[in-house]
Amino acid sequence: MPIPYSETVMEHFRHPRNVGRIEDADAKAVEGSPACGDMVAVYLKVDEDDKRITDIKFESYGCASNIATGSIITELAKGKTLDEAKHITWKQAADALGGLPPIKTHCSVLAVDGLRAAIQNYEERHGLVTEREPTTVEIVRKRLKHVMNPVVGLDIVRTNLVEDIAVEDGTVRVRLNLPADHQFAAAIEEDIVDKLEPRWDVEHVIVDFTE
């Protein structure tokens, strides 16, 4: 039986706003959904003075609900300050779409997680995070749980791709159980670096692959 989507969901799915990437983005994040393995990428341009989102784009590798919620949250976030945009909830996104079937709640959660991760990326890159907890292996592992293994649609920790993590003198080393010439190696490496490098005490991120 087809899922009963509202007309607004269908309209945003067919004509999504703000789709694409921003090449010179001030911040970006890729988030994966533990519920379904789909991914969303969010890119931001931010006014440095008043911290307002001047441009935002997204790329969805998810379903119709994810595309529609990506579209609506980018509409909701554009023009807002980072603090205001941080408080946009999946419920607001779903309400703005005229409701989502309960089975599709996680799709809007994914879109909002993507937005919040991009905001966090901006704040970390621009020294706006007041939390100064030193980076540990556990913190790295927690972040790596947000890096997806596209082969199976689960994160790289749960799928045992991460063989070893070492943190020493500002350098984080992640060893993956994946050949360097694997089709997703470069994308996974980029995602790992994006997730770890902005931390206040991390200077280098090195990803090692198997031969």
17: enclosing H helix or E strand: none
* Residue 154 binding ligand FES, by CB under 6 A: no
Residue 174 and residue 180 in contact, taking contact as beta carbons nearer than 8 Å: no
Kindly state the smallest distance separating residue 206's Cβ from ligand FES, in Å: 32
* 107 catalytic residue (yes or no): yes
Nearer to ligand FES, 118 or 167 (CB): 118
Rounded to whole angstroms, the Cα distance separating 202 from 210 reads 24
* Residue 110 binding ligand FES, by CB under 6 A: yes
Residue with tokens 């909830």: 89
Nearer to ligand FES, 102 or 134 (CB): 102
Kindly state the smallest distance separating residue 67's Cβ from ligand FES, in Å: 9
Strand partners, 174: 165, 207
Rounded to whole angstroms, the Cα distance separating 67 from 38 reads 11
Q: From the candidates 10, 22, 36, 139, give the one annotated as an active-site residue.
A: 36
Nearer to ligand FES, 9 or 77 (CB): 9
Binding mask 32-71 toward ligand FES (x if CB under 6 A, else -) reads -x--x-x-----------------------xx-xx-----
Rounded to whole angstroms, the Cα distance separating 211 from 204 reads 22
Closest CA to 66 of 42, 44, 86, 45: 42
Q: From the candidates 46, 94, 107, 161, give the one annotated as an active-site residue.
A: 107
69: enclosing H helix or E strand: helix 64-77
Q: Which stretches of the chain are DSSP H helices?
A: 7-14, 64-77, 82-86, 90-96, 105-125, 137-144, 185-196
Kindly state the smallest distance separating residue 82's Cβ from ligand FES, in Å: 24
Kindly state the smallest distance separating residue 6's Cβ from ligand FES, in Å: 15
Rounded to whole angstroms, the Cα distance separating 207 from 132 reads 24
* 63 catalytic residue (yes or no): no
| Region of 30-38, 47-55, 87-95, 144-152 interacting with ligand FES (CB under 6 A) | 30-38
Residues that bind ligand FES (CB under 6 A): 33, 36, 38, 62-63, 65-66, 107, 110
